[in-house]
Amino acid sequence: MCIRFNFCWLRHGALLIALLWLTGCAGGPSTQERYASLPLSSQKNLSIERVLAMNHAREALGTPYRWGGTTSAGMDCSGLTQASLAAAGITIPRTSQQQFDALPEIDRARPGDLLFFGSGGRVNHVGIYMGDRRMIHAPGSGREVSVANLDNRYWRSHFRGAAAAAP
């Protein structure tokens, strides 16, 4: 009886350990999934236009990058910002440089504002600021619309300015 009990315990214990190990490998939700599920109601004093634009950008998470794209089939960075603001009833130019040139620059970004990046005096990338030092953007070929941490050295060194398109 003792031998059978030890064998059963060993077999069930090994099964339990294997299940726990597999559960650990599965992990929790990705950073994007966790961020996308945060309620916008925690943001205070945001206009409905900002909330609508940010919701559209969050819904675009995972959309494949496509140069010139503005739809869920694929989008580039300025297509993301243009489509997100259009969802809020705001019309902006098509390219990141045109958006930068047309929109009023601001000193301090609020959620829903656009953040511009580039080098050599030109803007070549734009994202939507979501608060908490994060933005949603379409990073480039072979990638998907995702959340970026603005504390990253690349973003800090290439930042060109912020603009408010929404009230």
Within 10 A of 15 (CB to CB), how many other CB atoms are there? 10
Q: Which tens digits make up the pLDDT trace of 51-65?
A: 999 999 999 999 999
Catalytic site residues? 77, 125, 137
CB 58 within 8 A of CB 141: no
Domain of 92 in residue numbering reads as 40-163
Give residue 44's pLDDT.
Answer: 72
Domain membership of residue 10 (yes or no) is: no
Q: Which tens digits make up the pLDDT trace of 18-53?
A: 433 333 433 444 444 444 444 444 567 999 999 999
Q: Assign residue 88 the CATH number of its domain.
A: 3.90.1720.10
DSSP secondary structure letter of residue 104 = P
Domain membership of residue 2 (yes or no) is: no
Give residue 5's pLDDT.
Answer: 45
